[in-house]
Chains A and B, each alone.
Chain A
Amino acid sequence: MTTIITVTSGKGGVGKTTTSASIASGLALRGFKTAVIDFDVGLRNLDLIMGCERRVVYDFVNVIQGDANLHQALIKDKHCDNLFVLPASQTRDKDALTEEGVEKVLKELEHQGFDYIICDSPAGIEHGAVMALTFADEAIVVTNPEVSSVRDSDRILGIIQSKSRRAIEGREPVKEHLLVTRYSPKRAHEGEMLTYTDIQELLRIPLLGVIPESEAVLQASNQGIPAIHQKATPVADAYQDAIGRFLGETHPLRFVEYEKPGLIKRLFGGK
């Protein structure tokens, strides 16, 4: 059984690609055969975040149009044995992403025995974003604690509920998960930032995890290594917890409570 997970948000810059890379890597690390597909035709970036940009020969659109087969286009990840990346093309022709074409590629991945397919959605609610969610079984909605992100997440949830195949065919609806990213417990504690419970109340979908704001994310993307590999950082641990919860495990939320720095820390500084 293949599960198709769409990582989406509506708004840009909230951490969709970072999340796609880390969730895909995390699932692969747990032994699942996983593919991660960049749906952002014209603005591909998943390859950079995964650190495989120099190994891109063929892309998603090449496979759809029959210029290459899937085997030629899939890039094997450097860090995980059973993880493969399918990059987006850099052509500007967004209509190259046809519904039949996307379905064909997903079916083929299913035949090849993939356990999980992660669809990294582009921002917006246009064709590419709709294609990324059309075949979803589950959706991870990435949201920042910020008004425009929350509103756009609600919009994209509406689109999932009306345009996904599951919705159109009247099957069991797409399972939705909320992932709050770039969260600052201190600012939330001080009333400067929406809390994760506020966001969950507004969007009314189950919370998969809270990823704290962290320097580690930039450090990871600088090097082309998914953030989940940044050992012993709160971001990596929070992603691991989220993956565990996705797989049905229970993990208490970490990195969401603000701890006042002690006297010694205040005197001597430190991060």
Chain B
Amino acid sequence: MSWLSLIFGEKKSTASVAKERLQLIIAHERTCASGPEFLPDLQKDLVAVISKYFPVNPDDIKVGLEKQGNYEVLEVNIVLPEGR
């Protein structure tokens, strides 16, 4: 095996392939899991704070978490009532 692998190049062990795959998927799933759990609470809190200053409809405040490349983007969209 040794001289053959020297000539043809060492093949990666399946265990290291497994580890690399797990590293990627676990990291991905951890970020997903931490997102949606707190978003509804954040939305509620924002509604509470903003309605102190503006009469807003709770549905007009939208909160979302998006992944763009290596960055996570927290998007907050607030529609203020017309005619003020």
> A and B bound?
yes
Q: Does A213 contact B (CB under 8 A)?
A: no
**A194–B13 CA distance with the chains assembled, in angstroms:** 10
Picked from B13, B23, B26, B30, the residue with its CB within 8 Å of the CB of A191 is: B13
Complex contact A191–B15 (CB within 8 A): yes
Complex contact A198–B15 (CB within 8 A): yes
Q: Closest CB of chain A to B23's CB: distance in Å?
A: 7
Q: Which residues does chain A contribute within 8 Å of B19, judged by CB atoms?
A: 194, 198, 201-202
Q: Which residues does chain B contribute within 8 Å of A191, judged by CB atoms?
A: 13-16
Complex contact A150–B33 (CB within 8 A): no
- How many residues belonging to A are interface residues under a CB distance threshold of 8 Å? 17
Chain B interface: which of A73-81, A151-159, A221-229, A240-248?
A151-159
B1-34 CB mask vs A (1 if < 8 Å, else 0) is 0000000000001111011011101100110010
How many interface residues does chain B have, given as a range? 10 to 19
Q: Closest CB of chain A to B41's CB: distance in Å?
A: 12
Q: Closest CB of chain A to B21's CB: distance in Å?
A: 7
Q: Which residues does chain A contribute within 8 Å of B29, judged by CB atoms?
A: 151, 154-155, 158
Q: Which residues does chain A contribute within 8 Å of B82, judged by CB atoms?
A: none
Q: Does B37 contact A (CB under 8 A)?
A: yes
**A201–B13 CA distance with the chains assembled, in angstroms:** 18
Q: Does A147 contact B (CB under 8 A)?
A: yes
Q: Does A195 contact B (CB under 8 A)?
A: yes
**A22–B49 CA distance with the chains assembled, in angstroms:** 53
Q: Which residues does chain A contribute within 8 Å of B15, judged by CB atoms?
A: 188, 191-195, 198
**A194–B33 CA distance with the chains assembled, in angstroms:** 25
Complex contact B16–A150 (CB within 8 A): no
A182-219 CB mask vs B (1 if < 8 Å, else 0) is 00000010111111001001100000000000000000
Q: Which residues does chain B contribute within 8 Å of A193, judged by CB atoms?
A: 15
Q: Does A162 contact B (CB under 8 A)?
A: yes
Q: Closest CB of chain B to A159's CB: distance in Å?
A: 9
Q: Which residues does chain B contribute within 8 Å of A194, judged by CB atoms?
A: 15, 18-19, 22
Q: Closest CB of chain A to B14's CB: distance in Å?
A: 6
Complex contact A192–B13 (CB within 8 A): yes
Q: Which residues does chain A contribute within 8 Å of B18, judged by CB atoms?
A: 147, 194, 198
Complex contact A162–B13 (CB within 8 A): no
**A192–B13 CA distance with the chains assembled, in angstroms:** 6
- Known pairs A151-B25, A198-B18; list 19 more (Cβ under 8 Å): A147-B18, A150-B26, A151-B22, A151-B29, A154-B29, A155-B29, A158-B30, A162-B37, A188-B15, A190-B13, A191-B13, A191-B15, A191-B16, A192-B15, A193-B15, A194-B18, A194-B19, A201-B19, A202-B19
* Shortest beta-carbon contacts, A-B, top 5: A191-B13, A158-B33, A191-B15, A198-B19, A154-B26
A–B Cβ pairs within 8 angstroms, 12 of them: A147-B21, A147-B22, A150-B22, A151-B25, A154-B30, A155-B29, A162-B37, A188-B15, A191-B15, A194-B18, A201-B19, A202-B26
